C-alpha cells in the first residue's frame, strides 16, 4: 500500500484539498442501487414527509463515503485508511430541483501519531446548507 503523500511532508495543521460534492435525486437513486439501501426516505418525498422529514434526505453512508474521498483523493490509495469514523448529526436534505444539495468537506492533519507506522490523524468537517452534517469525523491514515 503506497500513499502518494509522504509522512515527512506533513505536520499537524496541514490542510487537505477541500472538496464540494453535489447531490441530486438521481445520485441518491444510483447510490441506493450500488449500496443496496433502498429505504424510501432517500428517494420518496411523500414517504419522507410522512415520517416527519422536511424532504428526501441523503443516505448517511453516502455523506460518509464522499467525506472519505477527501482523504483517499489526497493519499491516492484507498488502502491507506487504517480507521475512519463519523457521527451523523444532521441530515443532508435533497430537494427535487435543478441544484439539489451540496456537501462541503474540509480536512486537516490533527496530529502525527506514529513515526514507525507513518500514521497521522485527519479531522474532517462536512457541512450542507450551512449545517454541520457529520460530527467526530476522524480518520487514521498511513502515509508513504
Partner 1 sequence: MAIDQSFVGRTYPPSRPYEVGREKIREFAQAIGDTNPACTDVEAAAALGHPDVVAPPTFVFALSFEEASRVVQDPQLGLDYSRVVHRDQKFSYTRPVRAGDVLSVTSTIESVKSLAGNEMVAVRGEVEDGTGEHVVTVHTTLVARALEEE
Binding region for partner 1 (CB under 8 A):
1-2, 21, 27, 30-31, 33-37, 60-62, 64-66, 68-69, 72-73, 76-79, 81-88, 136
Q: Least distance from C-beta 64 to partner 1, angstroms?
A: 6
The set of cell numbers assigned to 51 is 415520517
Is the Cβ of residue 72 or residue 109 nearer to partner 1 in the bound state?
72
| Minimum CB–partner distance for residue 17 and partner 1 (Å) | 14
In whole angstroms, the minimum distance from the beta carbon of 27 to partner 1 comes to 8
Nearer to partner 1, 10 or 74 (CB): 74
Which residue's CB is nearer to partner 1, number 11 or number 85?
Answer: 85
- Whose Cβ is closer to partner 1: residue 27's or residue 112's? 27
Please work out, in degrees rounded to the nearest 5, the angle formed at the alpha carbon of residue 130 by the alpha carbons of 50 and 128.
60
User: What whole-number distance in Å separates Cα of residue 19 and Cα of residue 128?
Assistant: 12
Q: Which long-range contacts (CB under 8 A, 24 or more apart) does 24-31 make?
A: 24/94, 24/99, 24/100, 24/101, 25/56, 25/94, 25/96, 25/100, 27/62, 27/100, 28/56, 28/58, 28/59, 28/62, 28/94, 31/58, 31/59, 31/62
Smallest distance, partner 1 to C-beta of residue 80, A = 9
Amino acid at each position: 500500500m503506497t500513499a502518494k503523500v509522504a509522512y515527512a511532508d506533513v505536520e499537524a495543521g496541514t490542510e487537505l484539498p477541500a472538496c464540494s460534492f453535489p447531490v441530486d435525486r438521481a445520485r441518491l437513486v444510483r447510490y441506493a442501487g450500488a449500496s443496496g439501501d433502498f429505504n424510501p426516505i432517500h428517494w420518496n418525498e411523500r414517504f419522507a414527509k410522512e415520517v416527519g422529514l422536511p424532504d428526501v434526505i441523503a443516505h448517511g453512508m453516502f455523506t460518509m463515503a464522499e467525506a472519505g474521498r477527501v482523504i483517499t483523493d489526497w493519499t491516492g490509495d484507498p488502502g491507506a485508511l487504517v480507521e475512519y469514523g463519523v457521527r451523523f448529526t444532521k441530515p443532508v436534505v435533497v430537494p427535487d430541483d435543478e441544484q439539489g444539495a451540496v456537501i462541503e468537506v474540509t480536512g486537516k492533519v490533527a496530529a502525527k501519531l506514529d513515526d514507525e507506522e507513518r500514521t497521522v490523524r485527519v479531522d474532517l468537517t462536512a457541512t450542507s446548507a450551512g449545517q454541520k452534517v457529520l460530527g467526530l469525523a476522524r480518520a487514521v491514515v498511513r502515509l508513504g
